Amino acid sequence: MTKGKMPSEIVEDSKKSTWWSRILSVIIVLSFVLPIYVLLSMSFKNSTDFTSRLSLPKYFYPDNYITILKSGIIFRAYANTLIIAGGTIGVEVVFGCMAAYALARNQSRFNEIIRNFVLSVMIIPALSVLVGVYSLIVAIHGISTHWALIAVSSAFGLPMSIYMFTNFIVNIPRALDEAATIDGASTFQTFWYIILPQLKPVTATVVILKGISAWNDYLYPTYFLQKKEMYTVVLMIKQYFSATNVDLHGAAAAAILGMLPVIILYLSLQKYFIQGTLDSAVK
């Protein structure tokens, strides 16, 4: 190590590729990309093409995509998914950071009860209460509505978002709240003007994490959204793959279009996704 070098240069220096690390990298990357590659190449082949699925088409055939885009079902699916994801995220963030503020700042017996409650309901498996949830939604006429799905999804997601917000707020110095109180701010004003503006990083993490899980959610949407006009992206893809005369090429195009927004978002905001995974690990 010579003096005067920036730390980043030192790091660059020690970056070396050995032949085995190169080969191993290529093998690993291929094994993780292969399914998506196969899906992509299938989506550009016509339905009578029975050449190897590992091969690329030797012609340009965008018809699978054109059919889906023309039918418009993909746009309806995007719209439904965005409404549900947006609603779920909104509820989880607003209700979540409010509850987390109280949880992080109070230290009473009642608070301990709430904390244990939140940690316990976090592990309720969605399917173990399927019959209970489904009959409740039927009773309140929530089948095939956006609001019922948003309510149930956000209720099941709230424990995690409360947990993440609490971990963040605990690290904001309490002295800030106290100073605001001395200046005459009410509890709500303190929350609104002092705490809320500082929550941006954790909110970004929650939004990204919950956005992905809402986009990919299959469980409750499949039972609650029974009308085709209400289908989310995942249900639309399912419809393609579970058709009796399944057109695997059209289905591939549907899957690509459905997953494209998520993949683009991931490739551009990688760091946040990975941070989100770390923050959500319950310690």
227 binds other proteins (CB under 8 A): no
C-alpha dihedral over 78, 57, 265, 259, to 10 degrees? Answer: 40
Stretch (H or E) spanning 92: helix 73-105
In angstroms, what CA-CA distances link 251 with 17, 47, 61, 237, 239?
Answer: 40, 11, 15, 7, 9
Instruction: State both tokens at 14.
Output: 């020690």
Told to check if 6 binds other proteins by CB under 8 A, we report no
Interface with other proteins (CB under 8 A), residue from 45, 80, 85, 96: 96
Cβ atoms within 10 A of the Cβ of 275, count?
A: 17
What is the closest distance, in whole angstroms, from the C-beta atom of residue 5 to other proteins in the complex? 16
Out of 6, 123, 175, 182, name the contact with other proteins by CB under 8 A.
123
218, 228, 229, 243: which one binds other proteins (CB under 8 A): 218
> Binder to other proteins among 186, 193, 228, 229 (CB under 8 A)?
186
Contact between 130 and other proteins per CB under 8 A = yes
Give the count of residues interacting with other proteins (CB under 8 A): 96
**Residue 162 amino acid letter:** I
Binding residue for other proteins, selected from 44, 65, 101, 163, defined by CB under 8 A: 101
- State the burial class of residue 167 (Cβ atoms within 10 Å of its Cβ: 0-12, 13-18, 19+): middle
Going by C-beta distance under 8 Å and a sequence separation of 6 or more, which residues neighbour residue 167? 202, 279
Question: For other proteins, which residue of 60, 182, 184, 188 counts as binding (CB under 8 A)?
Answer: 188
Cα distances (angstroms) measured from residue 224 to each of 144, 150, 236: 6, 11, 14
- In the list 84, 162, 164, 169, the residue contacting other proteins (rule: CB under 8 A) is 162
In this complex, which beta carbon is closest to other proteins, that of residue 49 or of residue 63?
49
Of positions 158, 202, 225, 230, contacts other proteins by CB under 8 A: 158
Cα distances from 227 to residues 108, 136, 212, 269, 282, in angstroms, run: 47, 19, 23, 34, 37
Residue 120 near residue 186, CB atoms below 8 Å: no
* Binding residues for other proteins restricted to 41-60, rule: CB under 8 A: 42, 50, 52-54
User: In sequence order, what are the residues at sequence separation of 6 or more whose Cβ sits closer than 8 angstroms to the Cβ of residue 2?
Assistant: none
User: Which range touches other proteins (CB under 8 A), out of 65-73, 82-90, 167-175, 184-192?
Assistant: 184-192
The structure tokens 């279009």 sit at 257
- By CB under 8 A, tell whether 32 contacts other proteins: yes
Write down the least CB distance from residue 242 to other proteins, Å: 9
Q: Does 272 bind other proteins (CB under 8 A)?
A: no
Which residue of 46, 47, 71, 106 would you call a contact of other proteins, by CB under 8 A? 106
Does residue 19 touch other proteins according to CB under 8 A? Answer: no
Q: Based on CB atoms, which residue is closest to other proteins, 71 or 187?
A: 187
Q: In the complex with other proteins, which residue's Cβ is closer, 2 or 31?
A: 31
Short-list 257, 266, 262, 265, CA closest to 40: 257
CB of residue 91 vs other proteins: minimum separation in angstroms?
7
